[in-house]
């Protein structure tokens, strides 16, 4: 059987329409379709390589402070060219030397020739590579924290608005005791609060690799300072301080105590675990929304011209929630990869960590950033169809109210065992009508016509007011918002005031 590709050389696809010429390379969907400008900027080559230059400047200026023969003119040239990175020239040097760090050393030296003799002095590639990675992760976590706070703010408004709207609770995805719409949202927020705490923990405990040398022994720096251990130790402290790794409370330098050539890759695992935790929370929330959308109780934002299905025009699919779950599933897989990378490092270092870290760390940050933008968008525009919610409650509530009805009749002088048997019989019959005939639950009508329950006939409907069956859900939601969420939002007011640059690609 012939194929449409029989006459096509798929290795080159000739002849190509000119409009296709710019689209022959694979484009990563996480970057091209989803990533925000904010996080993309943090993870960009511009951020990476200007950070390398700042690290070289921090090293050289600290070495000068400690007595090395480095002039102000050399430092001035380095400062003047922190941001004018010639990427083409650096790539050219990298192809020549087969080494990315040396490519950028020479590109920097071209624009700061006075400093070329002292650039990267005593350092190994991991001085710029590892320290820059830590700095990028720090900035990424700061952005994630900001968006976590904004997400909590959006969901807090939603929870407060619907804190006293009764809804069916579900266990095993079967109708259970009532809760409220707001209380359910508080469950989503509780998970995100734990994530907020975890992100704060990682930010507070993130440490630089610092100035450690080729195998972590600082031997090259000890040589530069003629065996002066105090100066080598001070060099490490100065560089870390200049790159912002100082505890605000204690003033202590935040630097890994000991390392091999690289900082321990366990740090990557901890950071990706924090991101994976956010992904778990997001998946749980959006999974609930997808199920509620099927019940027609909740609907995520839907644009006026949005198409739910190319074949079924009436559909309003929960596309944002599905996208969150899709991205979250990927992020949740990344901590395991980081764990294997850490476990597989031999002695002072092996290079089998390099390629995979270039992929999983940026992608973890990019994906979680998108996820949080989506959660904000969903929470801000989520519609609750209260009449549908109420109908579902009233379909199940008669069964749940039978104990209250029974107790009220007993208090009026009825026989508990006789009443219990009557309720059992009526319940079974009502269940058969619902399941076997597809009709509405008629349990209340059956009870209303049974003389055994005459004591409650005049107040039967009052006994099944849904608000009587939500327990402390309303109060729990108010207390949760006031005691747990609002203090964080007050503390993070500066983060709440920050503008979000990107919208949401539906």
Give me the active site residues, please.
172, 309
> Could you tell me the CA-to-CA distances from 111 to 51, 104, 107 in Å, in that order?
16, 11, 7
What is the C-alpha end-to-end distance of the chain, expressed in Å? 40
Residue 162 CB partners (closer than 8 Å, separation 6+): 180, 181, 182, 185, 384
Residue 472 CB partners (closer than 8 Å, separation 6+): none
Helix (H, G, I), strand (E, B) or coil at 168: strand
Residue 384 CB partners (closer than 8 Å, separation 6+): 162, 165, 181, 297, 298
Say which residue the tokens 């507070």 belong to: 204
> Could you tell me the CA-to-CA distances from 175 to 167, 168, 392 in Å, in that order?
10, 6, 9
H or E element, residue 176:
strand 174-180
Q: Distance between CA 72 and CA 64 in Å, rounded? A: 9
Q: Distance between CA 214 and CA 260 in Å, rounded? A: 8
Neighbours of 157 (CB within 10 A): 14
Q: Distance between CA 185 and CA 168 in Å, rounded? A: 13
């Amino acid at each position: 059987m012939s194929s449409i590709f029989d006459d096509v050389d798929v290795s080159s696809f000739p002849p190509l329409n000119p409009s296709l010429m710019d689209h022959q390379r694979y484009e990563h969907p996480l970057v091209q379709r989803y990533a925000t400008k904010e996080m993309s900027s943090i993870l960009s080559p511009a951020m990476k390589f200007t950070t390398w230059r700042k690290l070289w400047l921090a090293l050289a200026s600290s070495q000068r402070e400690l007595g090395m023969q480095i002039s102000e003119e050399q430092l001035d040239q380095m400062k003047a060219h922190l941001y004018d990175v010639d990427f083409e020239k650096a790539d050219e040097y990298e192809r020549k030397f087969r080494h990315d760090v040396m490519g950028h050393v020479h590109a920097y030296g071209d624009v700061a020739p006075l400093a070329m003799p002292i650039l990267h002095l005593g350092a190994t590639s991991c001085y710029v590579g590892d320290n820059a990675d830590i700095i990028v992760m720090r900035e990424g976590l700061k952005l994630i924290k900001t968006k976590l706070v904004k997400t909590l703010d959006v969901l807090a408004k939603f929870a407060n608005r619907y804190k006293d709207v009764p809804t069916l609770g579900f266990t095993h995805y079967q109708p259970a005791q009532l809760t409220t719409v707001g209380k359910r949202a508080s469950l989503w927020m509780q998970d995100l609060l734990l994530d907020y705490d975890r992100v704060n923990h990682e930010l507070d405990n993130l440490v630089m690799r610092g100035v450690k040398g080729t195998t972590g022994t600082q031997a090259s720096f000890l040589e530069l300072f003629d065996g002066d251990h105090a100066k080598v130790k001070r060099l490490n402290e100065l560089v870390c301080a200049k790159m912002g790794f100082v505890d605000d409370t204690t003033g202590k330098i935040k630097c890994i105590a000991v390392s091999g050539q690289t900082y321990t890759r366990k740090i990557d695992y901890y950071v990706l675990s924090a991101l994976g935790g956010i992904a778990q929370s997001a998946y749980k929330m959006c999974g609930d929304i997808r199920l509620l959308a099927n019940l027609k109780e909740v609907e995520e934002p839907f644009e006026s011209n949005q198409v739910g299905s190319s074949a079924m025009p009436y559909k309003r699919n929960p596309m944002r929630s599905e996208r969150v779950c899709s991205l979250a599933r990927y992020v949740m897989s990344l901590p395991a990869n980081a764990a294997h990378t850490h476990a597989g490092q031999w002695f002072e270092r092996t290079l089998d960590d390099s390629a995979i870290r270039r992929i999983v760390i940026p992608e973890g940050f990019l994906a979680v950033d998108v996820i949080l933008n989506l959660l904000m968008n969903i929470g801000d525009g989520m519609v609750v169809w209260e009449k549908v919610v109420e109908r579902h409650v009233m379909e199940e509530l008669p069964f749940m109210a039978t104990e209250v009805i029974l107790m009220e009749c007993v208090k009026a002088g009825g026989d508990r065992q006789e009443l219990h048997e009557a309720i059992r019989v009526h319940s079974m019959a009502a269940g058969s009508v619902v399941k076997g005939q597809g009709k509405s639950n008629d349990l209340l009508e059956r009870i209303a016509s049974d003389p055994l329950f005459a004591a409650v006939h005049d107040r039967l409907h009052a006994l099944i007011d849904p608000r009587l069956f939500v327990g402390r859900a309303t109060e729990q939601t108010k207390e949760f918002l006031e005691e747990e969420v609002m203090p964080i939002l007050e503390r993070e007011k500066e983060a709440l005031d920050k503008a979000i640059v990107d919208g949401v690609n539906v």
